[in-house]
Structure 1
Amino acid sequence: MKTNQPKLKTTTPRIPLFSCAFFRHCTQTALSPTTSTPPPLPHAPPPTQPPPPHHESSSSSSSNTSQSFTQWRLFPLSNSPISHHSYPHPKPQPDPPVQPPPSNASAAELFHLAELQFNSGSGPGRFGAIQLLERSLVPNPRAASDGGSCPPAVMSGVVASLREGLARKPASKVLLALCLVEENRRVALEAGAVTAVVEALTDAESAVAERSLAVLELLCTTAEGAAEVRAHALAVPMMVEVMGRMEARGREHAISVLAVIYGNLGDGPAVAPAEEVARAVMLALQGDCSVRGRRKGAQLLKILQENGRQDLNQEER
């Protein structure tokens, strides 16, 4: 009896159609619709992160893309044109500090440094010039006379500073120190010191007003200064007003200025009636007043009495 035995099939190994390593690499790294990075070239090193598998869903890919876009919006790259590091805002450069003059500097050198600061055109520069003159001239006013009279540019800067808030106090000190030198008084008049001082009295504090009145009295020692003060419309009203609120030295300077105004009226411009000014002077003398102020006040009352009689005689005629 013959038994049928199963025939054994001999299997021969199949050789892949593309056995070349180049084609095998290409078939394994083919692009898919969800692949975000291109395949590297054969000779390039393998990527650090493998591409996502082909079975990844489109929703996951869309989520990753949205997350990447959000991170780019919130955290821009340093080389991005909208980064704040790309266009830095320039910082304003402060004015150079004022260098104090040497201890042996002459008045000409001091005025030259101050003129440079005034010509800078900036507020800190002008204030620095005032501080420079204050440190050098206020302790020793006669030092300003070593190099002749004060330059007009420097005097104009000092007079203009009487109208500036922070510089008013040191400017009043510097102007008084300059006007103590007789040669500087005409320079101050040409710079408009009379108008600046009278206007500064309207809202000046006590110390500034007292120094300003002293400057006005010094300017009245010249014929041009006395005529300019006499012609100013606000000179007499301001002198009457400050006599009621100033201390002894302030009243003394105001009375002296009024004595100059009424002492040589002549045919000049009309001023306040002598009777009203006399009442204000008598009220000022009843309070705190210096010895010189009382002597000047007595002289002023005599002048006002004579002017009053003269006015009465003219009215009778």
Structure 2
Amino acid sequence: MKTHQQPKLKTQLFSCGFFRHCAQTVLSPTGTTPPLPQTPPGFQCESSTSSSSSSTTSQSFTQWRFSPPTPTTTTNSNLIQTNTNPPSPPPPPQIHNLQELFHILELQLTTDPTSVLNLLERSLVPNPPQNQPPCPPNLMRALTANLATAKPATKILFALCLSDANRRVAVETGAVSAVVEAAPDLDGAPAERALAALELMCTLPEGAEELRAHALAVPVMVTMMAKTAARGKEYAIGVLAVVYGSVGGGEEHHTAPPEEVARAVELALQGECSARGRRKGAQLLKTLQQLSQAELEAAESHLHEAN
């Protein structure tokens, strides 16, 4: 079992914030004489998903949609100055054979890790293939080592974890602990993708066991419930359900009293949360109540025996 260093972070259980913004402007010409060309206004909109009634964990993640790239615009000044600036070099070709791509990128890890991540992102996002070959362990380790610093890292990890084969590679290379330790430094969509990948990894027994053994798992997930939006709350609640899902199994890896976690879950459910997140939260509260009652009965039994 992998040992963990003394936790270095202090969690705040009861802080949360929510925001969402989406705007788009449309211009229409009027009159018989067409107006001078203008730069079309750009737009940026968060991706949205509809909640599914499915109870299986894997189906809840296939609804994810990656944010579309921001469209580029061309202005008259750009057209006039085309002869002034040299053209940009074309992007590297996209390799659709993932097994070949993984092999090439593994060789490039020591020389150009940034290009490795960029090419992985272009090949896996926004439509990850369902049947993926196993990712080389060295490539997976390089990916998880950059979760908090490289922008495309969480996109790539989530895309890989949609595959059973790469979910196992991620668990075997320590990605569960890497996500737990990187999560407090993530916000917005990167935080949601990291938590989604973590919940997927915990569908494997080895991933669930590594999560329960991590001293920071519970406080970090409580913190993420407080700081993320609806989807992030859903995934954090799902991860906590994995931690406390061994009630009655004889294993005690919990690092926070169940009644304190229950209060944090109740607070999270009072704010913005997906329908699936609310169902998961209600089930988690029942589990925490059972665990709290079992601990109380055990304490009373020990006190009775001592007397």
Report deviation, 1:113. 2.1
CA contact 2:187–2:228 (8 Å) conserved in 1: no
Change (3 A) 1:288 1:270: closer
Report deviation, 1:268. 3.0
* One-letter identity of the residue aligned with 1:253: Y
Matched, 1:309 2:256: no
Alpha-carbon separation, structure 1, partners of 2:117 and 2:174:
18
Matched, 1:193 2:175: yes
Alpha-carbon separation, structure 1, partners of 2:261 and 2:90:
47
* One-letter identity of the residue aligned with 1:231: A
Residue matched to 1:100: 92
Change (3 A) 1:315 1:178: same
Matched-pair identity in %: 57
Report deviation, 1:126. 0.6
CA contact 1:200–1:209 (8 Å) conserved in 2: no
CA contact 2:94–2:119 (8 Å) conserved in 1: no
Matched, 1:132 2:114: no
CA contact 2:191–2:232 (8 Å) conserved in 1: yes
Per-residue Cα deviation, 1:54-100 (whole angstroms, up to 9, x for no partner): xxxxxxxxxxxxxxxxxxxxxxxxxxxxxxxxxxxxxxxxxxx9973
Counterpart secondary structure, 1:161: coil
Report deviation, 1:102. 4.5
CA contact 2:140–2:173 (8 Å) conserved in 1: yes
The one of 140, 145, 151 aligned to 1:155: 140
Report deviation, 1:139. 2.1
Which TM-score applies when normalising by structure 1?
Answer: 0.63
Gaps of 5+ in 2: 1-88, 302-307
Residue matched to 1:262: 244
Gaps of 5+ in 1: 1-96
Alpha-carbon separation, structure 2, partners of 1:130 and 1:98:
18
Change (3 A) 1:158 1:98: farther
Report deviation, 1:315. 0.7
Which TM-score applies when normalising by structure 2?
Answer: 0.65
Change (3 A) 1:268 1:98: farther
The equivalences for 1:128-277 within 5 A come to: 128-142=115-129, 145-146=131-132, 148-163=133-148, 165=149, 167=150, 169-265=151-247, 266-277=250-261
Matched, 1:109 2:100: yes
Change (3 A) 1:244 1:270: closer
RMSD between superposed Cα atoms in Å: 1.7
Change (3 A) 1:127 1:102: closer
* One-letter identity of the residue aligned with 1:303: T
The structure with the larger Rg is 1
Counterpart secondary structure, 1:289: coil
